[in-house]
Structures are given as structure tokens and as C-alpha cells.
A = this chain, B = another copy of it.
């Protein structure tokens, strides 16, 4: 990585608005890591999920958003917990939550009733979804297998990712980054941003966006060089997808790139790595099966191999 890359990263962080509640986040994070390592749960993964926003105004009304439902990250988190991992779930506020994927869009309108004005009941059709959302989620959080940390802007996301990577350093090869979040490629540098709301009413609006420095290189080389690292590549054009994923693999030196196309992403993904490309599909004979069941199984296997090789 060129020193120019590092300069860009430093200047990005220096000009970022400072992270709120940083002490609180750090305390939760360190407590979570300590609890798991002393409890013998050796493996820990940071799953990032949902899209980041890029403010166009300092007192933000307008922003550019990278759309992502967060479904992939939430489903993967459940599978990592099931596989025995401690999971730091770094998610965009308001996106899909682990154990809540089967709830209807408007759960309070559709799932519950108070038949006698005092005791709440769950409609029979939603009992399993609500039990999962409440019991499984609470158990995972209460037993410190799941720590949920929300972000909204690209500034919050990258500062929190840096905190987590730094905190994971001592875990070494047993730590993993599973970077499913849709991170903005372009942003308006905070210092060049207008303070107030952009005025409308005088013709077209031209916006110039700068590239967000590629933090993945820094994560790999500086922040957490021993961690196993999986990144994602989403494209809408299947013709360029594998090529772009392969280039990302070489450029950022991650251990695998999960390539997915927008329209088929719930059916199949391709895991691109130096040992070749593997197509991972949903078990289509089981209606409740999701592609993440097989994807996480493969990733966990690869992580096991990586840990073994790191110790020899």
C-alpha cells in the first residue's frame, strides 16, 4: 500500500466528526471480548451489515444512502452464533436484525393481541417468529454470544470498525471480519461540506463526490493483520461480477471475496479465493433454507484451516 493511501486515511479520520459515546462502545466491546476469551469461546467474528450514509450537509437533512436491507448480515450472524462464534454485529440502524427476519413488516399490528386487556398474546400464525425474535435473540445477547452496535454514517461505521479491529488484535487468527455492509464509495469531505440545508429553487444541483479511501487495505495491514478477512462484492451486472471480485481479492489481500448479484443474491453466491471459486447455493428442497446456511459452513471451515495453519 502506498503512503498516499495512508495519508488519505489519516486525513479522513482527522476530518471526521468525532464518534459519540466512544467510551461506552469501547467498554461494551472490551467486556464482550474478555468474557468470551475467559469463558473459553475462542472464535470471534465482526459481522458488518446494512448500508452507510454519506451526509451532504453538516446539519444533516440530505444524505446519499447505499441501500441494503441487512438481511445477509442478520442471517449470517445467526449462523455464526450457531457455529459457536461470539459475534459483534455492527449494523446500520433500522436494518434487519438477527432472529427477526421472519417477522412481518409491521409486527406490532400483526403479531399481537391483548384479548382481555391485560395479558398479551401472540397470534398463532406468528408464534414461531416471535419466539425466535424474543427468546433466541435474548439468549444470544444475555450469554454474550452477540453484541449489537448500530451506526448510520460512513464516519461512524469506519471509526467503529477501527475500534473493533484494534480490540480484536489480541485474539489473533481466531478473529474474523465478515464485511457484508454496503459501504459508500463516494463522500463529501466534512470540511468542504455546507453547514446548512442546500437551497432548492435555482436550477439543477451539481454535486462532486470524492472517493472514500479504501480502508480494507489498512484493516488487513495495520489494524488487524492476523484476522481472517472476508469481503463482499455486489454488482447488478453479472458479466463483470467475478472479474471485479477477483480483482478485489488481489488488491486488498483478503482471504475470500463473496461475490453476489443483486437479483439472485438470495439463491446463490460465489466464494472467490486463491484456492479457486466455489458456487454456494441455497438448499432449494427445504423451503426455509437460506444460502447463508451453506455459506457460513464453508467460511467456518476455511477459518478452521486458517487457524490451524497459523499455529504451525
Binding site for B on A (CB under 8 A): 53, 56-57, 59-67, 93-94, 97, 99-100, 103, 105-109, 112-114, 117, 119-122, 130-131, 133-135, 137-138, 141, 148, 150, 182, 185-186, 195-197, 200-201, 203-211, 234-237, 262-263
Contacts and interface: CB of A to CB of B under 8 A. Distances in A.
Contact of A137 (B93, B108, B197): B108
A237 to B, nearest CB: 5
A137 B114 contact: no
Name the 6 nearest CB pairs between A and B, nearest first.
A185-B200, A108-B133, A59-B236, A205-B209, A65-B65, A112-B134
Contacts of A66: 61-62
Nearest to A68: B61
Copies of the polypeptide in the assembly: 2
A236 B108 contact: no
Contacts of A62: 64-67
A108 B120 contact: no
Contacts of A262: 59, 61
Contacts of A119: 119
A241 to B, nearest CB: 10
Given A97-B108, A112-B134, 17 more contacts: A53-B65, A57-B236, A59-B236, A59-B262, A61-B67, A61-B234, A62-B65, A62-B67, A114-B135, A117-B135, A120-B121, A185-B200, A197-B235, A204-B208, A205-B208, A206-B209, A207-B207
A235 B119 CA distance: 45
Contacts of A134: 108-109, 112-114, 120
A211 B133 CA distance: 43
Nearest to A210: B204
A181 B244 CA distance: 39
